[in-house]
Structure formats: C-alpha cells, structure tokens
Amino acid sequence: MASIFKTIDHIRYFDDLARQDSFIHRLHPLTKLLSTTVYALVLVSHDKYATLALLPFLFFPVLVAAAGRVPLSAILKRLLYLEPMIICLGLLNPLFDRETTVIMGHTVSSGWLIFASIVIKGSLAVSSALLLMATTGMEGIALSLRMLRVPRIMVLQLLLTYRYLSTLLEEGARIMQAYSFRSLSTVGVAAKAWGSLLGQVLLRTIDRAQRIYDAMCLRGFNGEYVPGKGRRAGIADPIYLLAWGAFFVLSRVFNLPLYLGCLLTGGVR
C-alpha cells in the first residue's frame, strides 16, 4: 500500500521539482525542449561502437541537474526502473553479432560493445528526458510542443494522459487503503479480492475522469488546450541553445576523451 502512495509522490514529485526557481527553470520551455531533443538526436546518431567517446555527453545531464537543483538521486532512481527495458533492447546484439574488434590492445566481442553503447546512450537519453520533465513541467512541455506546431489533439492527449495517470493512482491508493484497514490480513491482497478491487479502481477512475472533464467543460473547455504565454525568452535562451549545440556537435565529430588522453600522456599514436 505504501508503495502506491510513493508512486503518486513520484509523479507529483516531478511537478514539485518543476515549480522550483533556478537558472534552468527560468529558461523558456522551448529552449529546454530543443536542447534536449538535439542532445538525444546527436547521441543516437553516434557510432554504434562508441562507448568511451560518449563520455562528454555525460556533461549535459549532470550540469543541467546541478543548475536546475534536481537531485541526481531522483533521476537515477527513476532511471533504474527503466533500465531493464533499455537492457532488453541492447541484449539482442551480443546474441547475433559474434564478430570481434580490438580496442586498446584487447579483443572484445563487437556484440557486447554495441550492447554497452546502446545501454549508455539509452540511459543518457532517458535521463535527459526526465530532467526536461523535472525542470519544465508537463504544461511547459505542452506549451513548447504547441509552438512547434504539434497538432492540438496530440498535445491534449499528452496532458490528459499525464493528468489521469495520477487520478488512476490516487483511486488505486484510496481503495487499497480502505481494503487494508478492513481486511485485517497483514500483507498483500487476498487472491479472491483482486478482481473486484481492480474493477473498483477502474470504475472509480472513469467516474473521476468524467467529473474532471465535466469541470473543464464548465470552464469553457472545448477540446482545445489554451496554454498561457509562459516565460518570455531572454538573451540567455539562444546562448544556452547555441552553446550546448556547439558542444554536442564537437563531441560528436571529435573523440574528445581520446584527444584529451593523448594530450595528457603527451603521446600521439
């Protein structure tokens, strides 16, 4: 039961983080959406064997988290939940790709190399997406999607899904609470009760979603989400975007860790 309340808090926690005030929060939502998208694209476009060369890409999430006052632990914890999915995606490679490559004098299976590369890329991309949520909030993201001419209906879907997800979790938590107060059993839900409990959660959620929708209609909502103006873009926005853009492209074109390593050891191969 406690875990459901925690899940609600997880969702809401991101809303809370997004309400903070920091350099990152003050940027225009569109700036953040664009920088994160460019980041993810450049990252994914990287060579499929790239592992160490990806190191510079760690800067983006770490710096944004630090400047945006987002605890790294908050991001890492949620990343852990998604990690199995990323690993499954990557795991096919070692199975099918049985060739080998040589790096730094060691022979490694190229399949595993690709696997490592995918896991690193996936984790970095997911972290940056989580950070976008934590520093911009769903409404900010919706606003910038609309500015990019993403169809209304899709933006609305996104917002409502997000909103109803918390509604669903709340109803679930309430019912579990009511159940555990009266069932007297100490742990879990009796097998017999699962069906009716789940049915209850579903019905109640539909009811509540309907009432929320009613409330929206009564306040003039007619299928179109009208976002506010949001923050005005300032001089910091283009600079932020250009600086990160330049950094991403540099890290993509040059293998920065390799250069740095050569520089430090003074050797040129």
Partner 1 sequence: MSHHITEAQDLCYSYPDGHQALRGVSFRIHHGESVGVIGGNGAGKSTLLMLLTGLLEPLRGQVAIGEIRLNSRTAKLVRQKLGMVFQNPDDQLFMARVEEDVAFGPRNMKLDEAQVGERVALALEKVGIVHLGDRAPYRLSAGEKRAAAIASVLAMGPDILIMDEPTSALDPSSRRRLINLLKGFEHTKIITSHDLDMVLELCQRVLVLKDGILLCDGPTHQVLSDGNMMIEAGLEVPQSLRGCPSCGWKG
For the CB of residue 19, give the shortest distance to partner 1 in the complex, in Å: 7
Determine, following the binding rule CB under 8 A, whether residue 217 of this chain makes contact with partner 1. Answer: yes
Q: How far apart are CA 40 and CA 23, in angstroms?
A: 22
Tokens of 158: 């996104």
Size of the site for partner 1 (CB under 8 A): 26
Q: What is the dihedral of CA 250, 252, 253, 257, to 10 degrees?
A: 80
Residue pair 41/60 in contact by the 8 Å Cβ criterion: no
Interaction residues for partner 1, span 5-44 (CB under 8 A):
12, 15-16, 18-19
Judged by beta carbon, residue 5 or residue 112, the one nearer partner 1 is: 5
Tokens of 92: 């096919």
| Interacting residue with partner 1 among 38, 97, 119, 139 (CB under 8 A) | 139
Task: State CA 236 to chain mean position distance.
Answer: 24
For the CB of residue 246, give the shortest distance to partner 1 in the complex, in Å: 33
For the CB of residue 7, give the shortest distance to partner 1 in the complex, in Å: 14
Tokens of 156: 């609305």
Crossing angle between the packed helical segments 110-147 and 2-18, to the nearest 10 degrees: 60
Determine, following the binding rule CB under 8 A, whether residue 83 of this chain makes contact with partner 1. Answer: no
Tokens of 211: 């009432």
Which of 148, 140, 161 is CA-nearest to residue 229?
Answer: 140
Q: How far apart are CA 132 and CA 64, in angstroms?
A: 9
| Interacting residue with partner 1 among 10, 46, 208, 231 (CB under 8 A) | 208
Determine, following the binding rule CB under 8 A, whether residue 267 of this chain makes contact with partner 1. Answer: no
Determine, following the binding rule CB under 8 A, whether residue 215 of this chain makes contact with partner 1. Answer: yes
| Interacting residue with partner 1 among 73, 107, 186, 222 (CB under 8 A) | 222
For the CB of residue 79, give the shortest distance to partner 1 in the complex, in Å: 23
Q: Note the residues at the interface with partner 1 (CB under 8 A).
A: 12, 15-16, 18-19, 137-139, 163, 166, 208, 211-212, 214-222, 226-229
